[in-house]
Amino acid sequence: MPSVFETAPNATAIPITFATKSTWEAITAGLPAPARQFAQANGFSAKPGKYLILPAADGQIAQVIFGIEDEGSKSRDLFRAGSLPGLLPAGIYRFANAPHDARLAALAFALGSYRFGRYRKADAADVRLVPPDGVDAAELVRISEAAFLARDLINTPSNDMGPAELEAAARDVAARFGASSVCVTGEELAKNFPLIHAVGMASSRAPRLIDFSWGDPAHPKVTLVGKGVCFDTGGLDLKPSSGMLLMKKDMGGAANVLALAQMVMDAKLKVRLRVLIPAVENAVAGNAFRPMDVFKSRKGLTVEIGNTDAEGRLILADALALADEEKPELLVDLGTLTGAARVALGPDLPPFYTNDETLAADVARLARQENDPLWRMPLWPPYDSWLDSKVANINNAPSGGFAGSITCALFLQRFVEAAKSWLHVDIYGWTPSAKPARPEGGECQAARAIYQLLSERYG
């Protein structure tokens, strides 16, 4: 997709004026009389999300007025401008005045121009924006292109996005920045990553662990792990059809880790980055793993399978154990792990978990700043015993089902010991119904906020 930003100087860009309920009167007063009349005849009152195209005397577009919320409004949406690419006719535009946050508005404009065009031609108009003064356009391009990568990977259906295709996508990201990748499969996977193998073995599309590193080995080690379940049928504890419908997006953690890695490498942050993606399909077949099976994990802990549908934490456990072995300064994992996270916080507000108070404060602050919302939930020690198994060291799916996102985080925590700091985010990776800057479908979640964190610390 070509960049939405028009970086060549452009004197004829069409101005977009942001108006709120309280600034509208002053703005109308400044308009030429016919334009004021036109706005009034159209009944335009600068309601948030509403727009008005004002014609010039020669019939060209003179300017656009776009309604946004008032400064103090509780429902203020900093991504409002993200609906403009879907509303405006083709052309080159510029912001005539400052919306609440010009950088976020320009980013929203870019994010809102995304179309998934793999299977049919996208019917979008060529709407472009001259980046507002003082905004780092290259940075916005970096972030939006990475977000588009995440969305494309998630939106691609499972028949075209199996473990092999996810591996190819990861290798492509790695190669573009000169990182070399390895991939563990077959006997070696079965021997060294028993949980990844157990989850993925029923599929005709072989499970694997993708592993690439980038950057100066002397820089601080930052390792990203992403859940790459290319389709989640639930395994033998099969999901009902309603729950299975969206499960092509179960590699959303991997997609977002790749997006984050791309931002980090593109910005040349001073880190030694490692990316680990366990890629599997949780399928049903005669050789599928079963409830009450017991496997010895890479870390040595034995794991009893309470439910084959709690597969994400299994594959992450082996990948986290590997990551932990080299004691990274920061270990981050992202995955579409639980329905319970959605019950608690809904699709747009993923919970994050960490015991590092400074990290928690930084993540919360930057999630808000970047409009990439995240909400801290606790690694509540009293629930840790819920993971007890009668026959093994740990069970992957505690009975009862209470606090499902927390118990998943506690399960993963058992596999992290040496990392200086660990951050786990239980994302949804999907926008169920379109909002400004967020078209329905695969979504980039947590990657933008974490990128800002890394860029603050290692930029």
Of 79-87, 223-231, 260-268, 315-323: span binding Zn ion (CB under 5 A): 223-231
From 104, 229, 257, 419, residue interacting with Zn ion (rule: CB under 5 A): 229
Q: Say how many residues touch Zn ion, by CB under 5 A.
A: 4
From CA 317, how far away is CA 331, in angstroms rounded? 13
Contact in structure between 303 and 314 (CB atoms under 8 Å) = yes
Active site residue 313: yes
Question: Which residue of this chain has its Cβ atom nearest to Mn ion in the complex?
Answer: 309
Asked if 232 is part of the footprint of Mn ion (rule: CB under 5 A), the reply reads yes
To Mn ion, the closest distance from the beta carbon of 234 in angstroms equals: 5
Strand partners, 431: 441
Q: Catalytic residue among 47, 239, 365, 457, which?
A: 239
* Positions 309 through 368 that interact with Zn ion (CB under 5 A): 312
From CA 187, how far away is CA 254, in angstroms rounded? 23
- CA torsion sign for 216, 217, 222, 224 is positive
Between 48 and 252, whose beta carbon lies closer to ligand BES?
Answer: 252
Of 112-120, 154-162, 232-240, 320-328: span binding Mn ion (CB under 5 A): 232-240
Between 39 and 409, whose beta carbon lies closer to Mn ion?
Answer: 409
Active site residue 191: no
Asked if 250 is part of the footprint of Zn ion (rule: CB under 5 A), the reply reads yes
From CA 144, how far away is CA 113, in angstroms rounded? 10
Contact pattern from residue 43 through residue 62 relative to Mn ion, giving x for each residue in contact according to CB under 5 A and a dash for the rest: --------------------
Between 127 and 314, whose beta carbon lies closer to ligand BES?
Answer: 314
**293 DSSP assignment:** -
Q: What is the largest CA-CA distance in the chain?
A: 82
Left if phi > 0, otherwise alpha if psi is -120 to 50, otherwise beta: which for 377? beta
From CA 371, how far away is CA 414, in angstroms rounded? 31
Asked if 281 is part of the footprint of Zn ion (rule: CB under 5 A), the reply reads no
Close Cβ partners of 394 (under 8 Å, ≥ 6 residues apart): 301, 302, 303, 304, 387, 388, 411, 414
User: For the residues of 244-280, what is the DSSP string, one character each?
Assistant: HTTGGGGGHHHHHHHHHHHHHHHTT-SSEEEEEEEEE
To Zn ion, the closest distance from the beta carbon of 313 in angstroms equals: 9
Of 77-85, 117-125, 194-202, 228-236: span binding Mn ion (CB under 5 A): 228-236
Q: Catalytic residue among 227, 274, 298, 313, which?
A: 313
Give Cα 419 distance to the centre of its chain: 23
To ligand BES, the closest distance from the beta carbon of 372 in angstroms equals: 18
| Site residues, ligand BES (CB under 6 A) | 232, 250, 307, 309-312, 336-340, 342, 397, 404, 428
To Zn ion, the closest distance from the beta carbon of 452 in angstroms equals: 27
From CA 235, how far away is CA 262, in angstroms rounded? 32
Of 4-12, 126-134, 310-318, 319-327: span binding Mn ion (CB under 5 A): 310-318
To ligand BES, the closest distance from the beta carbon of 397 in angstroms equals: 4
To Mn ion, the closest distance from the beta carbon of 150 in angstroms equals: 20
Residue of 388, 395, 408, 385 lying closest to 306 (CA atoms):
395
From CA 158, how far away is CA 163, in angstroms rounded? 9
Q: Which amino acid is at 247?
A: M
Between 392 and 408, whose beta carbon lies closer to Mn ion?
Answer: 408
Question: Which residue of this chain has its Cβ atom nearest to Zn ion in the complex?
Answer: 232
User: Which residues belong to the active site?
Assistant: 239, 313
Which residues of this chain interact with Zn ion, rule CB under 5 A?
Answer: 229, 232, 250, 312
Binding site residues, Mn ion, CB under 5 A: 232, 309, 311
